[in-house]
Copies of this chain bind each other. A is one copy, B any other.
Amino acid sequence: MTEYRRLRVALLGAGAVGSQVAGLLLRHGDELADRAGAELELAGIAVRNLDAPRDVALPRELFTTDAEALITGADIVVELMGGIEPARAHTLLALGSGADVVTANKALLATHGPEVFEAADRVGASVYYEAAAAGAIPIIRPLRDSLAGDRVVRIMGIVNGTTNYILDRMDSEGADFADVLADAQRLGYAEADPTADVEGYDAAQKAAILASLAFHTAVPLETVHREGITAITADMIEEARDAGFVIKLLAVCERLVDEGAESISVRVYPALVPRSHPLASVHGANNAVFVEAEAAGPLMFYGAGAGGVQTASAVLGDVVSAARRHIAGGTGVGESTRANLPIVPIGHVTTRYQITLEVSDAPGVLATVAGLLSEGGVSVATVLQTVAEPNGEEGGTARLIIGTHRAAEQALSATVDSLAASDVVERVVSVLRVEGE
């Protein structure tokens, strides 16, 4: 075997991903050394509890509770603890001592990205985070490097496996959200507290990371508009299917141009996606990121968005990249945030909508509804009226499904309020945005 320079790798955390990373580092050490041009010595694994059970059998002597001591003297620090503290402090300590950092910590990057990247720049180190945006799917390098000479127009990502699993089963089985969620929890697809997934927090963190990269702009997490999927009903999914759509939780990152001035919008919400769109056929817990760039046109990246060993693949790719950079010399490249585009609030975003109303089945109702839409500045593209009570008698309730042309969220929202307040509208059943048309 070739003699390589030895690099010390410190691993922080030994959960689902960390234990797989450690196992693969130990098992494929020789092969990874050939790839990296450096021997990757697993110097230790910092954990809170030395006796916690692990997914992978690992030598006990590698474990330590003294993360700081482990970090000091490491060439590459792999942070897989998750959460903000002490992950942030450890990351800054590592960068401060000149180590490169590999992280899968989307929460940390989405909330403290600029601080972390500045700390890396100060010492010429690099931060690698392929695992932080879409699990095993290579999306960071394509956005950061392959598309660096292009202009990204739009990203639409299915970046949360749990919600895609739930929506996909609701779609294929006609089941209710609560039932599928309970089953997903039983099967391990959803956590006991599913809030981070089903309320879109996880997707919003990933959207912030993707948008920052794609638009060379620091995107604070609080500027990401976020809606979850808890209000999605079996009825809404059935209605969507009838209209040729599937409902997906999307992370949308969009470049907007208004009279030559550019801005961006970053938002997470359940949206209607045409069944013919490539994203519509992303099933189960899989993820996919659809990217449209000015020159490259549409691109799609598909794969497993989560899972311990899958995510470990992305982490180890980053470890090899960090090692190669150590051997090659030179400083880290740093993040390009020089475009620094303004981020518009959701109210100024325009999309197409589908509004479903329950209305009284009486003469003049359609005219009233159309009038309110027109007053609100919302232009109607399609109207479908279905009788909710199939006895055919007037005086019951009917359903109006209205597809709009592009409308500003603000105008749409005010118009929906006036529809809800109208005498002829019994209930606003759903208001969903349409993406991917």
Contact = CB atoms under 8 A, between A and B. Distances in A.
A136 to B, nearest CB: 4
Contacts of A151: 28, 31
Contacts of A281: 278, 281
A293 B310 CA distance: 9
Contacts of A36: 148
B302 A302 contact: yes
Interface stretch (A169-177, A316-324, A356-364, A373-381): A316-324
B338 A332 contact: no
Interface in A21-65: 24, 28, 31-32, 34-37
Contact of A130 (B146, B299, B301): B146
A336 interface: yes
B329 A150 contact: no
Interface residues of A, number: 66
A15 to B, nearest CB: 16
A305 to B, nearest CB: 11
A325 B321 contact: no
Interface stretch (A137-145, A221-229, A235-243, A412-420): A137-145
A310 B334 CA distance: 26
A31 B315 CA distance: 31
Interface string A321-363: 1001101111111101011000000000000000000000000
A48 to B, nearest CB: 25
A149 interface: yes
Interface centre among A24, A149, A314, A339 (most CB of B within 10 A): A149
A316 B35 contact: no
Contact of A313 (B137, B296, B300, B310): B296
A339 B149 CA distance: 32
Given A148-B35, A330-B330, A136 B296 contact: yes
A304 interface: yes
A319 B324 CA distance: 20
B141 A319 contact: no
A312 interface: yes
Interface string A127-170: 00010000011101110011111110000000000000000000
A231 interface: no
B141 A320 contact: no
A84 interface: no
B313 A150 contact: yes
A214 to B, nearest CB: 12
Nearest to A102: B149
A298 interface: yes
A297 B302 contact: no
Interface string A92-123: 00000000000000000000000000000000
A149 B315 contact: yes
A324 B314 contact: no
A246 B36 CA distance: 40
Contacts of A145: 138, 141, 317, 320-321
A295 interface: yes
A194 interface: no
A309 interface: yes
Contacts of A24: 149, 295
B301 A301 contact: yes
A37 B303 contact: no
A20 interface: yes
List of 9 A-B pairs having minimum Cβ-Cβ separation, nearest first: A330-B330, A149-B316, A138-B146, A329-B330, A138-B142, A295-B313, A296-B313, A148-B320, A34-B338
11 contacts: A2-B338, A24-B295, A35-B149, A37-B336, A141-B141, A148-B316, A149-B315, A295-B309, A295-B313, A297-B310, A329-B330
Interface of A: 2, 20, 24, 28, 31-32, 34-37, 124, 130, 136-138, 140-142, 145-151, 216, 278, 281, 293-304, 307, 309-310, 312-321, 324-325, 327-334, 336, 338-339
